[in-house]
Amino acid sequence: MKQSIGFIGLGNMGLPIARNLALAGYQLRVYNRTAAKARPLLDLDGVSQARAPAEVAEPGGVVLSMLADDRAAEQATAGLADKLGAAGLHVSLSTIAPTTSTRLARQGCGYVAAPVFGRPDRAESGQLIVLSAGASRDRARARPLLDAIGSAVFELAEDPASANAVKLAGNFLLMSALEAMAEAFAFAEKHGVPRARVAEVLTTTPLMANVYRGYGAAIAAGTFSPAGFSLRLGRKDARLLLEAASARDVPMPAGHLVMDHFTASVNKGRSELDWSALAIEVFESAGLG
């Protein structure tokens, strides 16, 4: 029989994650502020319901939490470390600030930050992408649990906050992609192409995936020369885009942001670098070399 573990937070993500852990053979003690949300789990073998967050813990044991925000993450796990003790482990799956993760890591028990990428349907099918950061011994202890809920686990640094930083970075890419897609679709629609058709063209081909894969690697490595497509030409295309958008009254705030970065880069002598070198402007603004 596999170990007994605690689980706090049975929302849209927590419930299917807890279910997959139970189906993998773990004995679960679960808690949720709205007790009724635990009902779908209680028919599964080995699942019991606790009346308070700390009741899911046992000395030296493991507790996972999946809470909606920083306040909930701190409130629901207050006192948890006292029950777990120094030999216990708290695995936080929540998307929270790196600073919040650092505070949770100082509560007196082992701690792994393991935020996940994926929607509830991915949680249901056990196909989440999981990040893992913390002391190596704690990550090793958490790994079988994370493997039970995800299709891939990325081991990061000893500092738990690093996982939360990567999760927020990934979410920034996602929210930026949403804005960019919306602007692109609006731009095309103002030029007579239905947004559904634009979405079909841009999302049913390898185009977008290859862009993120190729340019992501180049930006991360700082490989901006030789230029596959010069920054100077990128600025020209951005100018053409914004001029055409203005003519059709299409607001494109992200487009203007990119244009500003291109212009600043040209003024700093980077015209003939690859257009992905606009990242240098972002890095410099963040105080990075």
Residues serving a catalytic function are 167
Distances, alpha carbon 192 to alpha carbons 138, 181, 248, in Å: 56, 16, 11
Instruction: Tell me which residue of 259, 262, 255, 254 sits closest to 232, measured CA to CA.
Output: 262
109 and 84 in contact (C-beta within 8 Å)? yes
161 and 132 in contact (C-beta within 8 Å)? no
Residue 127, judged by CB atoms within 10 A of its CB (0-12, 13-18, 19+), counts as: middle
Measured distance CA(177)–CA(33) in Å, rounded? 34
Cis peptide before 115 (omega within 30 of 0): no
241 and 254 in contact (C-beta within 8 Å)? no
